[in-house]
Amino acid sequence: MYVVACIKQVPDTTQVQIDPVTNTLVRDGIPFIVNPYDTHALEESLRMKARYGFKAAALSMGPPNTEATLRKALALGVDEAILCSDRAFGGADTLSTSNVLAAAIRKLAQEDEVGIVFCGKQTIDGDTAQVGPGIAIRLGFSQLTLVDRIEHLDFLSKKIRVRRKLEGRYEIVEAKLPAMITVVRELNRPRYPTVPMRLKAAKAEVKVWDNNELKLDPNSVGLKGSPTWVSRIFSPQRAAGEIIGDGMGDPAGTARLLLEKLVASDMLAV
């Protein structure tokens, strides 16, 4: 049985710049990293492999240079690495992306049953948190989101019990396998690759599946299959800050000035 970790190569957001003329991301010279949330999805797939004997596969969609990201997964210990790459997949939104990834998982399931698909909670370049649930809907998998602990896995009854981290509380949920699970950072602490595993990964095969392999309708993938698109990216303009009164010498008067200013700006009702 396979456990699949969906991972994405994203630009390092600490170094992202916006082109002021085109209002698009400047990609030249920007380093790419594995989406941080996806590193926890990958780690949990490796723990499942060690604990229950799953075969671990890493899956990604992107341009050819995404192979480097998948080699990092191989260096950590996955058994297979699969890259969905085709010009037809370019410009995909979350709907189109989940279509391609779901098709790849179906193809992988022809080799052996896929029991669990792990995804990061969201990506740092899009922050939509839509791809994982989109995969679950397309495959008919149970959908478990925001998971911070795997409580129990029962192979005989094909059930999994997890803990979800919600705002201000936790929720224990049990679902049938196969399941798609999106994870948060608290789930685990990702491991580091060893030198021997890095050397082994450099020679390992990364399978590349294009649309000739997946056989999807060209109008359902990439830009053609994306009902949403980014019309503009921009940095919000922020007004200069202002120092009001003398907080140390006259705190009461300063508080009065602040309240007056908030009321005048309609930010506070009297």
Task: Determine contact, residues 152/161, Cβ cutoff 8 Å.
Answer: yes
Q: How high is the pLDDT of residue 241?
A: 82
How sure is the predictor about 22, in pLDDT bands with cuts at 50, 70 and 90? Answer: low
Using only C-alpha atoms, what is the Rg of the chain? 23
Whether omega before 178 lies within 30 degrees of 0, making that bond cis, reads: yes
Task: Determine contact, residues 45/172, Cβ cutoff 8 Å.
Answer: no
pTM, two decimal places: 0.83
Please state the rounded mean pLDDT for residues 122-132: 91
Residues 6+ apart with CB under 8 A from 112: 1, 2, 55
How sure is the predictor about 262, in pLDDT bands with cuts at 50, 70 and 90? Answer: confident
The closest of 73, 70, 96 to 211, measured between CA atoms, is: 96
What whole-number distance in Å separates Cα of residue 54 and Cα of residue 86? Answer: 29
How sure is the predictor about 237, in pLDDT bands with cuts at 50, 70 and 90? Answer: confident
Amino acid residing at 84 = C
How sure is the predictor about 23, in pLDDT bands with cuts at 50, 70 and 90? Answer: low
What whole-number distance in Å separates Cα of residue 183 and Cα of residue 181? Answer: 6
Mean pLDDT of the chain: 92
How sure is the predictor about 138, in pLDDT bands with cuts at 50, 70 and 90? Answer: very high
Q: How high is the pLDDT of residue 201?
A: 96
Q: How high is the pLDDT of residue 169?
A: 95
Q: Is residue 88's pLDDT more than 80?
A: yes
Residue that is written with structure tokens 């020679």 in the block: 203
Q: Is residue 24's pLDDT more than 90?
A: no
Cα of first residue to Cα of last residue in the chain, in angstroms, is: 64
Q: Is residue 34's pLDDT more than 70?
A: yes
